[in-house]
């Protein structure tokens, strides 16, 4: 009995020793891996250019060091916009050596605060991506108010007018002139006005911006270009966004029943209402699908309706793709089509 106990203790000691060796080996492997890996160090990751002019390209050099035991490799450097360029001094940095990333920002077309990010992808296991940042303030002496033209929601068929103002805050130089205006959006018409001088010496020129009534429904994006006679801002670009919407809204824009067991009769509701509280009527609802039933339910007479769409019990098995058409007495939208999708199984 005693010999068995001694034998068991000996086996336990051997097992513990083996496990300890295994753990030590694993820890040693991890430590060895860390010792042989590259390790990047950027003394600074953010640089502030403070205030610059709109014609002044600026450059800053970010230095980095390889504090690891293997060569540091830069896979790629990505900038957040085309106005920022980044150039590497080298893509491979040996242990104990340094490298540089030269970042250049072109402020043409900018006014006010800016912030750009440069993403550095490398083979450092602890820092596979390093984000560098440049920021500052562009002081433009010739600029446009507003910098961006957002019309917001515009009712289809309704012309809209607004104004851009070109401002010249220069203390000297040739008198501001607009030499041309253009837009890549056919629905926009531009008309420059006459220069207006203020007591402070500032010169402003208004530009009338007119949207015609033939704009299609949807979200539109484009830009306006203002050409001037100034060397500081020969071309000023103004981004434009327009969201053209219909008067009568059918929500949701699509009915999705999902998977329906054959014999079930699920229903979905469509809210039909006037975006600007216009009085209207829903006259009727039709669908080319014979196994869809529809019902009109007034919620607020001449203001808001509910259309209930149901799948009939005898609907055939298979994929359903069709639509319901809602007819109104509003001349601008005599009919609204809402797609219907479902899958009917056994």
Do residues 266 and 260 make contact, with C-beta atoms less than 8 angstroms apart? yes
- Residue 33 is predicted with a pLDDT of 53
Q: Do domains 40-139 and 142-245 have the same CATH topology?
A: yes
- What pTM was estimated for this model as a whole? 0.63
In this structure, which topology does domain 142-245 adopt according to CATH?
Answer: Immunoglobulin-like (2.60.40)
Beta-carbon contacts of residue 133 (< 8 Å; ≥ 6 apart): 45, 46, 47, 115, 116, 117, 118
40-139: CATH architecture:
Sandwich (2.60)
Question: In the chain, what are the domain boundaries?
Answer: 40-139, 142-245, 248-345
> CATH for 248-345, among 3.40.50.1100, 3.30.110.40, 2.60.40.10, 3.90.1280.20?
2.60.40.10
CA distance readout (Å), 294 to 257, 304, 310, 325 = 14, 17, 6, 10
How buried is residue 258: exposed, middle or buried, by Cβ count under 10 Å (0-12/13-18/19+)?
exposed
Helix (H) or strand (E) holding 48: strand 46-53
Do residues 74 and 89 make contact, with C-beta atoms less than 8 angstroms apart? no
What is the block-wise mean pLDDT of the chain (346 residues), using blocks of 10 residues? Answer: 47 46 45 73 96 90 96 93 90 95 89 93 95 93 90 87 92 84 93 88 92 86 93 88 92 93 93 90 93 91 90 91 94 92 89
- Residue 303 is predicted with a pLDDT of 85
- Residue 16 is predicted with a pLDDT of 45
- Residue 35 is predicted with a pLDDT of 64
Written as six digits, the tokens of 328 are 């109104």
- Residue 24 is predicted with a pLDDT of 41
């Amino acid at each position: 009995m005693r010999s068995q106990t001694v034998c068991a203790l000996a086996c336990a000691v051997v097992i513990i020793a083996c496990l300890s060796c295994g753990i030590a080996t694993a820890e040693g492997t991890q430590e060895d891996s860390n010792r042989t890996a590259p390790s990047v160090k950027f003394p600074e990751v953010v640089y502030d250019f403070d205030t610059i002019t709109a014609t002044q390209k600026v450059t800053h050099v970010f230095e980095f060091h390889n504090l690891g035991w293997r060569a540091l490799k830069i896979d790629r450097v990505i900038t957040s916009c085309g106005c920022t360029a980044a150039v590497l001094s080298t893509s491979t940095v040996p242990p104990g050596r340094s490298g540089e990333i030269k970042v250049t920002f072109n402020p043409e077309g900018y006014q006010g605060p800016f912030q750009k990010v440069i993403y550095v992808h490398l083979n450092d296991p602890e820092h596979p991506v390093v984000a560098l940042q440049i920021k500052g303030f562009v002081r433009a002496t010739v600029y446009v108010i507003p910098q961006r033209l957002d019309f917001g929601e515009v009712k289809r068929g309704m012309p809209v007018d607004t104004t851009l103002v070109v401002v010249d805050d220069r203390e000297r130089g040739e008198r501001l002139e607009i030499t041309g205006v253009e837009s890549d959006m056919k629905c926009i018409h531009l008309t420059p006005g006459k220069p207006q001088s203020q007591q402070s010496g500032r010169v402003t020129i208004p530009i009338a911006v007119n949207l015609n009534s033939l704009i299609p429904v949807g979200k539109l994006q484009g830009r306006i270009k203002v050409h001037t006679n100034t060397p500081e801002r020969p071309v000023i670009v103004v981004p434009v966004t327009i969201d053209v919407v219909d008067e009568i809204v059918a929500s949701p824009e699509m009915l999705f029943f999902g998977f329906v067991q054959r014999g079930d009769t699920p229903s979905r509701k469509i809210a039909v209402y006037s975006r600007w509280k216009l009085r209207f009527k829903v006259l009727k609802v039709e669908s080319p699908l014979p196994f869809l039933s529809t019902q009109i339910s007034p919620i607020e007479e001449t203001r808001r309706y509910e259309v209930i769409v149901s799948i009939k019990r005898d609907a055939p098995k298979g994929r359903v793709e069709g639509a319901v058409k809602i007819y109104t007495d509003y001349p601008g939208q005599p009919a609204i089509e809402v797609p219907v999708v479902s899958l009917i199984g056994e």
